[in-house]
């Protein structure tokens, strides 16, 4: 059984045909799919808009792979409705994957490392569509956007990643072979034993994990 773990696609009403074609081909190469949070982005579009967007073309393909949908902080269960079943068979906050002889716990990570929308939900709702990621999508090629991403967002993601690694390092009492998180967009599996991050799909780069016979393989590919 070849299992694909993806996270942090942050899909919205901005359609990327290259990414769409890449996802279609990627799904064709695996047996099972686990969506590890932030599949779509509430702060960039409504669930109604997402469901009716061109991205809906991949929904039947996800259903064919019995997709498991783990909620993230940008696509919480409260942000959607029963139509999540259009692209997933199960919806949950955490999932334990048994592969080979390995027990692998998978969750998005915002419950372990809260971000702004967990710490200040009222303020985040106030900004809603003007959440900072909006500017990275619309103005991602501007020098000021690249500067903000490098100086502000990247250090924040590193701190989030460090918090999740610390959680794994301190979780010695749980009989778990590996933990897989997303959330930080930091594609990492070398600093803390038993810690993996499923990365993100962003700027022409696809980061994901393949699990087969208990072996977790991190993969980076270009889709542009």
Mean pLDDT calculated for residue range 201-220: 95
- pLDDT exceeds 60 at position 134: no
Q: Which of 115, 124, 121 is nearest to 161 (CA)?
A: 115
> Domain count of the chain?
1
What's the confidence (pLDDT) of residue 164?
Answer: 95
Task: Please tell me the distance from the alpha carbon of residue 176 to that of residue 179, in angstroms, as a whole number.
Answer: 7
Per-range mean pLDDT, top range of 108-117, 123-132, 162-171: 162-171
What's the confidence (pLDDT) of residue 155?
Answer: 81
Instruction: Please list, in sequence order, all residues whose beta carbon lies within 8 angstroms of the beta carbon of residue 156, skipping any fewer than 6 positions away.
Output: 115
pLDDT band of 153, cuts 50, 70, 90:
low
Q: What digits encode the pLDDT tens for the residues 16-71?
A: 999 999 999 999 999 999 999 999 998 888 999 999 999 999 999 999 999 999 99
CATH number, domain containing residue 33: 3.60.21.10
pTM: 0.90
Q: State percent of the chain over pLDDT 70.
A: 81
pLDDT band of 2, cuts 50, 70, 90:
very high
What's the confidence (pLDDT) of residue 72?
Answer: 97
What's the confidence (pLDDT) of residue 139?
Answer: 56
What's the confidence (pLDDT) of residue 156?
Answer: 81
Q: Which of 3, 23, 59, 8 is nearest to 221 (CA)?
A: 23
Q: Which domain holds residue 11?
A: 3-222
Instruction: Please list, in sequence order, all residues whose beta carbon lies within 8 angstroms of the beta carbon of residue 1, skipping any fewer than 6 positions away.
Output: 31, 32, 99, 212
Mean pLDDT calculated for residue range 166-189: 88
Query: In this predicted model, which residue has the larger pLDDT, 143 or 27?
Result: 27
Task: Please tell me the distance from the alpha carbon of residue 99 to that of residue 104, in angstroms, as a whole number.
Answer: 8
């Amino acid at each position: 059984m070849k299992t694909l773990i993806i996270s942090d696609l942050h899909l919205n009403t901005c359609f990327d045909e290259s990414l769409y074609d890449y996802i279609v081909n990627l799904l064709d190469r695996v047996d099972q799919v686990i969506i590890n949070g932030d599949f779509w982005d509430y702060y960039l579009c409504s669930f109604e808009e997402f469901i009716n967007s061109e991205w809906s073309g991949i929904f039947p393909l996800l259903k064919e792979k019995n997709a498991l949908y783990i909620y993230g902080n940008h696509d919480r269960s409260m942000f959607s409705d029963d139509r999540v079943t259009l692209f997933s068979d199960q919806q949950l906050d955490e999932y334990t994957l048994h592969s080979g002889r390995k027990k692998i716990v998978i969750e998005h990570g915002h419950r372990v490392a809260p971000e702004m929308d967990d710490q200040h939900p009222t303020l985040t709702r106030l900004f809603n569509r003007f959440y900072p990621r909006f500017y990275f999508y619309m103005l991602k090629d501007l020098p000021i956007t690249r500067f903000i991403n490098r100086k502000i967002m990247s250090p924040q993601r590193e701190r989030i990643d460090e918090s999740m690694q610390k959680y794994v390092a301190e979780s010695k009492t749980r009989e778990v072979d590996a933990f897989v998180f997303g959330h930080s967009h930091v594609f990492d599996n070398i600093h803390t034993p038993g810690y993996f991050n499923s990365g993100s799909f962003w700027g022409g780069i696809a980061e994901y994990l393949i699990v087969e016979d208990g072996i977790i393989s991190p993969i980076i590919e270009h889709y542009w």
